[in-house]
Structure 1
């Protein structure tokens, strides 16, 4: 199995001979199916008018689809080479380009159900808007790579499982736990200063990169002698006017494999309203599906698991609305074969891909159900793969698919007629499944 970024070795510094080429809304990426734009959606939070303008852009300039990323962002594909100016105008009109010089660094994920369910956890969504505004106003923050990630977790542990570079979690009534890299180096800051403290942690990282003489894009890429220190972060926060102390170890910290992400279905709220949680098969939506979601309440939250949460429905209307989304082709139940299946772009969109992974997944998934997640990769790069180790890894090769699952010897070059039974067997791997949370074993 490939290592997740959080487990990557830091024995040697990361030294690159080029800058970060991560695509954005203004820096388009050339693909085999046209150009690609990645639009950052901080916290995954969109209002209906902005969502509809994104659909207009996909119809007028792209291929009529919107792809969800593993950071709750949106990608438009099939764009023409000369559409950049018109796309920028559309996005600016939707409020999605508040700072063109910073548009690729607005990478913020937050707990999608924060403030919406009955767990009574703090609502971290106000932190999203404040941190985004601080990022866009900071000249130094423009130096972050397009891969640097902030995670604002309400305490359920969902987005802190994503190996973010800066993490914030409420602690008690008036404090927040902040760490950058190693959670053992966490500090406590006042809740009202949490977004400012997160930006200070990012500035600390940029200084460490300069001192190390590397071109590291992520905190995990810093060499050990330049690892970020909680004690030093406390000092930097004091200079920034934020009081902070070193935090004791968090006894509630959970591993990535034990975290429950939003299940498809109805999420009852504490105030009589309900939210709908759905998934887009393979993370791809038509503009008709997208507009239907945006029109329900005028608000959507995109999740880092290629899902969509629609908040604010009257409770008595939720069941009918969910049924309508199922009719539109979205995943609305936990027993769907598409619930935990992801894929890269594959052919024909990616020149490096060796297979049309989306079509291959469509052909076998009904016959290859199982509790383990599965990711289809068109090549060894494994773009978009899940975090953690509890997933089945299918990698296209010239000789067929290689099938990997933790603890088993890989199967090489699985032929097409054996793919469905081989994948079903791998998804039921008992030595992995007994370590999964109940919500994943359903």
Structure 2
């Protein structure tokens, strides 16, 4: 049986992607959970093999750029030694996001952090799941509504009773299960999707891409309930309001310790800044970092006074560690010169324009119409290079909703003014994936 992933172009740590500035490696970090020692190994790889930078992705993974064409074997050995390649055949399918502050503050119903490794192990233990594409996404949300808003293929949301509600895109209802059943449920859901995808006449890398004849349904939830001990079908839970990820800065202390969330402007960290974060975690924290889908790094386990000191130190080094920065909510694709398809140096244009356009709606800068890495789960301002300027538009959180134009082919000298106006515009409330499921269920009654 052919492997679905053969046609999936997502880069990995072993299958490098050729870009204009060299080769690119994407290292999956399930749940964003990264030991400080492994983080130091990534910094060394970026320095000795790449351009010395580490890019954070919209799924909390790490990218290394400007690698030579023959870097694959060396990089594999480094990642294996750091414990970042426990299952080489599955390395591209280890796409798991988890609430970054889970267990670190008083928000949420359940600490989902321990479930990340259990789900990852279950997926990697079965050779069949290696056929998942590099785009397929699992989300563990502790109940605060952050990762549940990221349009994952399999979402497990903690409920007030301490259990989990598993939902699938476009499928009414949910599967209620105890936390211990999360690995079995994620594995079973992946296999049911693969069976449907193989029966489809068209390629489908994600659940939402299945055509009507092969789409998952309430029968899928019933089959999952039969396969997963302790699980039962139930109505979809009332969704929490999407939180949009943690705010930058120290968290309120919990049990005498605090966490520090530092945003990386445009998701890029130099190896020096990366080492500084890893060293802070090793010396003063819990020994781990948490990469977030909002292109930030959480350092857990700090004494409150040390968290405040570190916030000031990192801010002086160019990271965002307090609210009110114009860089909050701002992202960009690679752009020129790293991407041959890009029509502009979007990162340079973003830096030039943002000083006059602080605050407001998130902004994402794209060098072409592909909009690689654009936000999900929130309304945002879309800035797409045209070659002579930028097209600006308001993109609703619902990807199916029509965008509203906010500027056509805006030249560079007008960008700050136009962008500031676009960021101030009111956004449309997000209809969550659960709203769509609820509407579908009501229409079917």
Deviations 1:393-439 (A, max 9, x none): 11111231111125643422111111110111111113x27x58xxx
| Counterpart Cα distance in 2 of 1:389 and 1:289 | 28
| Counterpart Cα distance in 2 of 1:153 and 1:142 | 24
| Counterpart Cα distance in 2 of 1:259 and 1:219 | 24
Root mean square deviation, CA, Å: 1.8
Deviations 1:32-74 (A, max 9, x none): 0000000000000001100000000000000000000000000
Determine the structure 1 residue equivalent to 2:372.
383
Distance verdict in 2 for CA 1:408–1:230, change over 3 Å: closer
- The answer to whether 1:263 aligns with 2:251 is no
Checking the alignment, whether the CA contact within 8 Å between 2:264 and 2:295 is kept in structure 1 is yes
Structure-to-structure mapping, 1:196-345, within 5 angstroms: 196-238=184-226, 240-254=227-241, 258-297=242-281, 298-345=287-334
Determine the structure 1 residue equivalent to 2:109.
121
- The answer to whether 1:419 aligns with 2:408 is no
Checking the alignment, whether the CA contact within 8 Å between 1:234 and 1:244 is kept in structure 2 is no
Distance verdict in 2 for CA 1:241–1:420, change over 3 Å: closer
Checking the alignment, whether the CA contact within 8 Å between 1:266 and 1:275 is kept in structure 2 is yes
Match of 1:139 among 101, 119, 127: 127
Checking the alignment, whether the CA contact within 8 Å between 1:45 and 1:301 is kept in structure 2 is yes
> The residue matched to 2:192 in structure 1 has which SS?
helix
> The residue matched to 1:333 in structure 2 has which SS?
coil
Deviations 1:263-317 (A, max 9, x none): 0011123201000011000000000100111111221100001011000001222
> The residue matched to 2:340 in structure 1 has which SS?
coil
Determine the structure 2 residue equivalent to 1:55.
43
Checking the alignment, whether the CA contact within 8 Å between 1:68 and 1:306 is kept in structure 2 is yes
Checking the alignment, whether the CA contact within 8 Å between 1:33 and 1:77 is kept in structure 2 is yes
Determine the structure 2 residue equivalent to 1:95.
83
Checking the alignment, whether the CA contact within 8 Å between 2:165 and 2:174 is kept in structure 1 is yes
| Counterpart Cα distance in 2 of 1:19 and 1:181 | 22
| Counterpart Cα distance in 2 of 1:404 and 1:175 | 40
How many residues are matched? 415
Q: Which 5+ residue runs of structure 2 have no aligned equivalent?
A: 282-286, 396-402, 431-445
Deviation at 1:30, TM superposition (A): 0.3
Structure-to-structure mapping, 1:2-151, within 5 angstroms: 19-119=7-107, 121-151=109-139
Deviation at 1:196, TM superposition (A): 1.0
> The residue matched to 2:251 in structure 1 has which SS?
strand
Distance verdict in 2 for CA 1:412–1:174, change over 3 Å: closer
TM-score (normalised: structure 2):
0.90
Deviation at 1:318, TM superposition (A): 1.4
Match of 2:156 among 161, 168, 171: 168
| Counterpart Cα distance in 2 of 1:37 and 1:17 | 17
| Counterpart Cα distance in 2 of 1:409 and 1:65 | 34
Distance verdict in 2 for CA 1:285–1:144, change over 3 Å: same
Checking the alignment, whether the CA contact within 8 Å between 2:54 and 2:64 is kept in structure 1 is yes
Deviations 1:103-138 (A, max 9, x none): 000000000000001225310011100011111111
> The residue matched to 2:43 in structure 1 has which SS?
helix
Checking the alignment, whether the CA contact within 8 Å between 2:95 and 2:137 is kept in structure 1 is yes
Q: Which 5+ residue runs of structure 1 have no aligned equivalent?
A: 1-15, 437-442
Checking the alignment, whether the CA contact within 8 Å between 1:114 and 1:121 is kept in structure 2 is no
